[in-house]
């Protein structure tokens, strides 16, 4: 009988779900399973299908963002009803997604590997720092660390590395739809904001970087899984709203910076990250 599991949400949620799936497979003494993916990103389905421990991916698509949000609430708070509403009762997938109970815990399973479809980008300089200061998937600009542009200027003034900056501006339906990522005018900054078609592009760029600096989003989770040094600068609400992910980043080879830290704290942590 096929074992079905769940991966729900955006990239960081799905990376964590993969860890939960692998831990379940170890407990059940199985090599693989199938996954119900409930989310809005088609590339996540491709990513999941690329993993050797996943046999089949069923991408649950039901309407637009508003229906998605309503069903996401049902999935998190009334899982049996969600199974009935989505007609998944026959599959009866095991809950391996990040649940509200898990969000309040520190039960982070990180000891696993994930594969990445290779993509290339000819716009990359020879030696660079990957820089992702903002993530508006579930946050607004005001909840981010306030010294990002000062940190970028410090990197340019104190290292020989160029900087590749990635991220997205706000879009309708996001928490901060009018957000525009600040730009930095320098011939040493490669601006790829809104220029990466998929998170998989960003992850491939990360594998080539001399160092990585990111807000607390999916990118540092990927770095921790793949043992890539990264400096994680917490946003202002993650500790209160998502203790699970706050703790996820507290693992080698990540270096973390609290949201109330100043630029001097950043420079010390940045040097620690580069030395790893």
User: The domain that contains 253 carries what CATH number?
Assistant: 3.40.50.2000
Q: What's the pLDDT band for 19 if we cut at 50, 70, 90?
A: very high
Same domain, 135 and 271: yes
Same domain, 148 and 250: yes
CA distance 97 to 146: 31
Task: Choose the final residue of a domain: 103, 136, 168.
Answer: 103
pLDDT exceeds cutoff 80 at 261 = yes
Least confident of 127-131, 135-139, 157-161: 135-139
Query: What global pTM score does this model have?
Result: 0.95
Same domain, 167 and 241: yes
Name every residue whose Cβ is closer than 8 Å to that of residue 112 and which is 6 or more positions away in sequence.
18, 19, 22, 23, 225
Same domain, 220 and 164: yes
H or E, element range at 113: none
**Does any domain span residue 136?**
yes
**pLDDT for the residue 66:** 78
Same domain, 149 and 266: yes
**pLDDT for the residue 168:** 93
**Does any domain span residue 111?**
no
pLDDT exceeds cutoff 90 at 1 = no
- Tell me what the pLDDT averaged over the chain comes to: 95
**Does any domain span residue 121?**
no
Please answer whether residues 190 and 208 qualify as being in contact, where contact means their C-beta atoms are separated by less than 8 angstroms. Answer: no
Q: Where are the alpha helices (DSSP H) in the chain?
A: 11-28, 42-49, 65-77, 79-85, 100-103, 148-158, 199-206, 218-225, 238-241, 243-248, 263-275
Please answer whether residues 6 and 94 qualify as being in contact, where contact means their C-beta atoms are separated by less than 8 angstroms. Answer: yes
Same domain, 234 and 133: yes
**pLDDT for the residue 59:** 97
Please answer whether residues 18 and 51 qualify as being in contact, where contact means their C-beta atoms are separated by less than 8 angstroms. Answer: yes
**pLDDT for the residue 119:** 87
Same domain, 252 and 169: yes
**Does any domain span residue 81?**
yes
pLDDT exceeds cutoff 90 at 197 = no
**pLDDT for the residue 54:** 98
**pLDDT for the residue 64:** 74
Same domain, 91 and 180: no
**Does any domain span residue 140?**
yes
Mean pLDDT on 93-106: 93
**Does any domain span residue 269?**
yes
Mean pLDDT on 177-184: 93
**pLDDT for the residue 171:** 87
**pLDDT for the residue 137:** 82
Instruction: Return the sign of the alpha-carbon dihedral for residues 110, 266, 132, 234.
Output: positive
Same domain, 167 and 218: yes
Mean pLDDT on 91-97: 97
Q: What's the pLDDT band for 190 if we cut at 50, 70, 90?
A: very high
**pLDDT for the residue 172:** 85
% of the chain beyond a pLDDT of 90: 87
Q: What's the pLDDT band for 142 if we cut at 50, 70, 90?
A: very high
**pLDDT for the residue 151:** 98
Give the range of the structural domain holding residue 50, as residue numbers without chain letter: 4-103
Q: Structure tokens of 26?
A: 């170890």
**pLDDT for the residue 120:** 80
Please answer whether residues 148 and 134 qualify as being in contact, where contact means their C-beta atoms are separated by less than 8 angstroms. Answer: yes
* Residue 192 buriedness (CB in 10 A; 0-12 / 13-18 / 19+): buried
**pLDDT for the residue 37:** 98
**Does any domain span residue 114?**
no
Task: Choose the final residue of a domain: 103, 137, 170.
Answer: 103
**Does any domain span residue 217?**
yes
Same domain, 150 and 258: yes
Task: Choose the final residue of a domain: 103, 118, 146.
Answer: 103
pLDDT exceeds cutoff 90 at 121 = no
Domain count, the chain: 2
Same domain, 266 and 181: yes
**pLDDT for the residue 173:** 79
Same domain, 153 and 228: yes
């Amino acid at each position: 009988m096929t074992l079905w599991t769940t991966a729900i949400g955006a990239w960081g949620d799905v990376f964590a779900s993969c860890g939960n799936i692998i831990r379940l497979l170890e407990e059940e003494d199985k090599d693989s399973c199938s996954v119900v993916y409930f989310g809005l990103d088609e590339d996540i389905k491709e990513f999941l299908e690329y993993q050797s421990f996943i046999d089949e991916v069923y991408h649950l698509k039901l309407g637009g963002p508003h229906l998605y949000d309503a069903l996401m609430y049902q999935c998190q708070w009334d899982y049996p009803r969600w199974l009935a509403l989505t007609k998944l009762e026959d599959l009866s997938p095991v809950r391996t997604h990040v649940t509200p109970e898990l969000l309040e815990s520190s039960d982070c399973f990180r000891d696993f590997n994930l594969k990445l479809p290779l993509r290339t980008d000819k716009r990359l300089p020879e030696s660079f720092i990957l820089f992702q200061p903002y993530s508006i998937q579930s946050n607004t600009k005001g909840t981010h660390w306030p010294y990002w542009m000062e940190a970028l200027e410090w990197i340019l003034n104190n290292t020989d590395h160029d900087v590749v900056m990635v991220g997205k501006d706000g879009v309708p339906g996001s928490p901060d739809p009018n957000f525009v990522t600040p730009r930095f005018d320098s011939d040493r900054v490669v601006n790829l904001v809104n220029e990466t078609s998929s998170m998989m592009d960003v992850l491939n760029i990360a594998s080539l970087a001399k160092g990585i600096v990111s807000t607390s989003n999916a990118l540092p989770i990927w770095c921790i899984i793949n043992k890539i040094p990264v400096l994680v600068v917490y946003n202002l609400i993650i500790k209160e709203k998502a203790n699970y992910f706050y703790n996820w980043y507290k693992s080698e080879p990540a270096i973390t910076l609290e949201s109330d830290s100043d630029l001097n704290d950043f420079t010390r942590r940045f040097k620690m990250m580069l030395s790893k």
